[in-house]
Amino acid sequence: MAASMPAKERSGAILTVDLDAVRANYRLLRDKAHPAACSAVVKSDAYGLGAAQVGAALYEEGCRHFFVAHLEEGISLRPHVAPDAAIFVLHGPPVDTEGEFTAHGLTPVLNSEPQVAGWRAHAKALGKTLDAIVQVDTGMSRMGLSPQEIDAWLQDAHFLDGIKVRYIMSHLACADERSNPMNGEQLARFIAIRARLPQYRASLANSSGIFLSPDYHFDLVRPGAALYGIAPQGGEPNPLRSVVRLQGKVMQTRTIAAGDHVGYSRRYTASEPRQVATISVGYADGWLRSMSNQGLAIVDGVKVPQIGAISMDSITLDVSAIAQERVVPGSLVDLICAEHPVDAVAAMANTIGYEVLTNLGGRYYREYQGLAQSAR
């Protein structure tokens, strides 16, 4: 039997994650937030890039606080970081899952009175004090104790029986818009809550909040998107390193004549003869259909337009400006790279970099540069 071709050669596209860039971004964020501690948000499989690999690399870099969204994400991450790393679950314990948290060494973020009551009862059943973060709502109206629940907390001497509060935290809604007045309003509300609870350490800043001012840093910052190269402030230079490179493979090329149509619904019609390359990436791979007729790729440093509707498994590029011998079946084109980063792709899709990253699909062959020793 003939030897099997390597998976990289069989794949339709290659997604490269630069873990050295993730480390460098973490160091920049850590230094900017000093003396506050710097955590890492690795929810949604580290924004689609691999929580096991990213978590291990950041642990090597010295990170000891990790945030995920769901219980199952925390369970999956635990084997990839050492026991001295705290894993905080932002959504808190689903009903009757408190035992899973202690079994796997996870710490909940408590967002409501019922979650506090459940964690308090679990601590009593175990006869020990359990760590937690308590989230308070400062105006996002999404998760966290409401002002009325905070009042109830302060009036009930037994509200936190058996619970050691690691931090009180809240979340910024508009931190990527430096001039948005909501930032100052939330900061003022958080400071007022802290004045009522001065004994606890505090956490407010997400990625963008780190760049607002040191007033937002408190004792712990929680960067997520910035670790993965997404710009923290809209309209400002991005100080972070690009982390992702996505290369699609050419499946075939053809010459079309003036008047020929490309793709579903005849979304593109050639005004003159064009050279077209079909690339093995589509919306099933997370290449968003909203980029139809307005995305681009880069070949040898030259930007080439995406033409026609994005299909489930393919896109088409106008490569007329590229030498034909450079664009042949099996050759690679850059869809995301340092010259065309995630934020630029997001702008073309009328979305945000977070959605682009978290949509990157499972069919890509994935390569990790700078893999942590423990993940090799």
Question: Which residues are catalytic, by number?
Answer: 43, 264
Tell me the CA end-to-end span of the chain in Å, nearest whole number. Answer: 30
Tell me if residue 213 falls in helix, strand or coil.
Answer: coil
Tell me if residue 228 falls in helix, strand or coil.
Answer: helix
- DSSP label at residue 204: E
Return the exposure string of 312-336: e unless at least 16 CB atoms fall within 10 Å of the residue's CB, then b: ebbbbbbbbebeeeebeeebbbbbb
173 in Cβ contact with 140 (< 8 Å)? yes
Residue 145, φ and ψ in degrees, nearest 5? -65, 135
36 in Cβ contact with 221 (< 8 Å)? yes
Crossing angle (nearest 10°) for helices 181-196 and 147-155: 10
Residues 6+ apart with CB under 8 A from 52: 76, 77, 80, 375
Cα dihedral value 169, 175, 180, 185, nearest 10: 10
Residues in the annotated binding site for substrate: 142, 312
CA-wise closest residue to 90 among 75, 76, 111, 104: 111
Q: Which residues does residue 65 pair with via DSSP β-bridges, in sequence order?
A: 86
Can you tell me which residue has the tokens 């020990």?
A: 128
Residues in the annotated binding site: 142, 312
Can you tell me which residue has the tokens 């409501």?
A: 112
Helix/strand number for the chain, H first, E second: 12, 19
- Residue 58: CA count within 13 A, CB half-sphere: 32
Long-range contacts at 211-214 (CB < 8 A, ≥ 24 apart): 211/32, 211/175, 211/178, 212/175, 212/178, 212/183
Q: What is the C-alpha radius of gyration for the chain, rounded to an integer number of angstroms?
A: 24
